[in-house]
A and B are shown apart, each in its own frame.
Chain A
Amino acid sequence: EDQVTQSPEALRLQEGESSSLNCSYTVSGLRGLFWYRQDPGKGPEFLFTLYSAGEEKEKERLKATLTKKESFLHITAPKPEDSATYLCAVRGGKLIFGQGTELSVKP
């Protein structure tokens, strides 16, 4: 059975304090790993697609990496506006979401 587990469930950072979010997965035939950002009361906003182990993608303060078992979302020098829930999803057959990591960045 395809599974996605994100950790930690919640993360509190000070502004400028870099950290990483983890997404561990098991899937039969990975057809993509996706990272989304979701603000309260809104739909998920697409961030990255990763397809093969060793792949990396960057966008502003965010960098996503992928291995055969997990993906990391690295946040460098975060700002308060980076506060949101970050969702990881994998596609084997259908798209399966993890529970998300709620990130809070304090000034």
Chain B
Amino acid sequence: GAVVSQHPSWVICKSGTSVKIECRSLDFQATTMFWYRQFPKQSLMLMATSNEGSKATYEQGVEKDKFLINHASLTLSTLTVTSAHPEDSSFYICSGGAGAYNEQFFGPGTRLTVL
């Protein structure tokens, strides 16, 4: 299957700082990448859809000024959590579409803890 990487795998930051998470498709080109967050014991919640070279589409209730998404190339999308607060602590996962049926392949996730 297609491989997606994320960096960092975990990050701890102070409240009010910004954190950038990178998502890379290693062996395929992803015109579209997706960003999810997941709280403990809950399923994945789609935050936004990132299209290469254009603005991301955010889901209802997700603050686009707080979660900045950039999809600079067909293999790289970034999520920046600006002015992070403890309630932003979560597990953030990205995915990219590939394969004959555009299956989504997920990265390993990034654990964000805001103190």
Contact = CB atoms under 8 A, between A and B. Distances in A.
Interface of A: 32, 34, 36, 41-46, 49, 51, 87, 89, 94-95, 97-100
Interface string B50-82: 000000000000000000000000000000000
A94 B46 contact: yes
Contact of A95 (B4, B46, B93, B108): B46
Given A32-B101, A95-B34, A44 B46 contact: no
Chain B contact surface mostly: strand
A46 B43 contact: no
8 contacts: A42-B109, A46-B1, A46-B105, A49-B103, A51-B101, A95-B34, A95-B46, A95-B104
B40 to A, nearest CB: 10
Contacts of A44: 44, 93, 106
| Chain B contact patch, size range | 20 to 34
Contacts of B93: 43-44
B7 interface: no
B101 A43 contact: no
Contacts of A34: 103-104
Contacts of B49: 94
6 tightest A-B CB contacts, nearest first: A43-B106, A43-B109, A97-B43, A44-B106, A43-B108, A43-B93
Contacts of A49: 99, 101, 103
Nearest to A6: B43
Given A87-B43, A87-B44, A94-B46, A46 B103 contact: yes
Contacts of B103: 32, 34, 46, 49
Given A42-B108, A46-B104, 18 more contacts: A32-B102, A34-B103, A34-B104, A36-B106, A41-B111, A42-B109, A43-B95, A43-B107, A43-B108, A44-B44, A44-B93, A46-B103, A49-B103, A51-B101, A87-B44, A89-B104, A95-B46, A99-B42
